Amino acid sequence: MPPTQHKIVIGHSQRMPEIVDSSVHLMVTSPPYPMIQMWDKQFCQLDPKIAALWQKLEKEPQEEIVTQIYDAMHENLSRVWAETYRVLVEGGLACVNIGDATRSVNGRFRVFCNHSRIIEHCEKLGFTTLPYILWKKPTTKPTYKGKGAFLGSGFLPPNAYVTLDCEFILIFRKGKLRSFPPKDPTRYASQLTKQQRDEWFSQIWQVTGTRQTVDELERRTGAFPDEIVERLIRMFSVKGDTVLDPFVGSGTTTKIAIQNERNSVGYEKDEKLLSIINRKTAQGNSRKGAVEIINR
Ligand SMILES: C[S@@+](CC[C@H](N)C(=O)[O-])C[C@H]1O[C@@H](n2cnc3c(N)ncnc32)[C@H](O)[C@@H]1O
């Protein structure tokens, strides 16, 4: 296998002019989650319209404004899904790790079904939705009246809420199945074991691998566990393929692509994460696949 190549662009992924059409085989990502408080500021920075709507909501508490905020957040994400569609090859796959959000806004507790919004947007762009994975997370606490725990009252019906203890890994394909020549050696070299196939292609994943956070800045990236990314890369690409992550964060996808002999390209708008990205992509990287950083 020739050495793999890795690029990270410090810039927004709503435009990816650095990537030519139909040149990426797999996208694996975890975007900022709409309506999860920790990502509010990012959405406001990305789109001043969203910041203005939050301010308007403070003065005029109307449900319609909440809907406009939520719509605008997903419209911003959808521009990235559109660019992803452009750069994927025919048969290329896109895996999106996303959680729904529970939140009291404007005095009303509700769930914001981010996964269904993303499916709607991606289908409009031409993607085919494939069966998705539910990642059962071990740590999420139960919810009562929109607060973080039952507080001992979950026993008394009917006002407690079901806990969101799963996140989604949505899977989409562009066009028809990828085709390979018969007995393609790269494909055979990327083969899974029977145990991996049986476990990884089941719908519920109980990945307990903790997020290996080193400091506060890394914690705020909301990194996904290495094992989630490793499974997806090995299930949906072959050695030598190119993997895209349009929301690189701490660089998990780049690190796992290096370790699994895939090329990679990533986008991260927050320059402050570079030191974490450099540290993470150097970890366990005996191949020393140098990561090229491109400052837009
Ligand atoms: C949930 S985090 C990704 C975490 C990543 N999966 C990891 O393992 O570290 C989302 C990241 O996307 C970045 N981001 C948000 N909007 C972006 C955009 N339009 N273009 C590029 N990066 C963006 C944020 O700065 C944040 O670091």
Query: What is the per-residue pLDDT across 182-230, written as a single tens digit (0 to 9) for each?
Result: 999 999 999 999 999 999 999 999 997 555 556 777 777 888 999 999 9
Closest CA to 33 of 102, 93, 131: 102
- How many angstroms separate the alpha carbon of residue 268 from the centre of ligand 1? 6
Query: Other CB atoms closer than 10 Å to residue 199's CB: what's the count?
Result: 13
Q: What is the pLDDT of residues 237-267, one digit of tens each?
A: 999 999 999 999 999 999 999 999 999 999 9
pLDDT of residue 250: 95
Residue 252 Cβ inside 6 Å of ligand 1? The answer reads yes
Q: What residue spans define the domains of the chain?
A: 6-295
pLDDT of residue 145: 58
pLDDT of residue 2: 84
Q: Helix, strand or coil for residue 105?
A: strand
- How many angstroms separate the alpha carbon of residue 271 from the centre of ligand 1? 11
Mutate to test the pocket of ligand 1, among 9, 79, 114, 248 (most ligand atoms within 8 A of CB): 248
**Ligand 1 atom closest to 245 (CA):** 6
Contact partners, residue 77, CB within 8 Å, separation at least 6: 31, 34, 118, 121
146 pLDDT above the threshold of 60: no
The separation between CA 137 and the C-alpha centre of its own chain, rounded to angstroms, equals: 15
Cβ atoms of residues 237 and 262 within 8 Å = yes
Of 3.20.20.210, 1.10.3470.10, 1.10.287.3510, 3.40.50.150, the CATH number of 6-295 is: 3.40.50.150
Residue 223 Cβ inside 6 Å of ligand 1? The answer reads yes
284 pLDDT above the threshold of 70: no
Residue 281 Cβ inside 6 Å of ligand 1? The answer reads no
Bridge-partner residues for 243, per DSSP?
26, 264
Work out the average pLDDT over 140-152: 56
Residue 9 Cβ inside 6 Å of ligand 1? The answer reads no
- How many angstroms separate the alpha carbon of residue 108 from the centre of ligand 1? 28
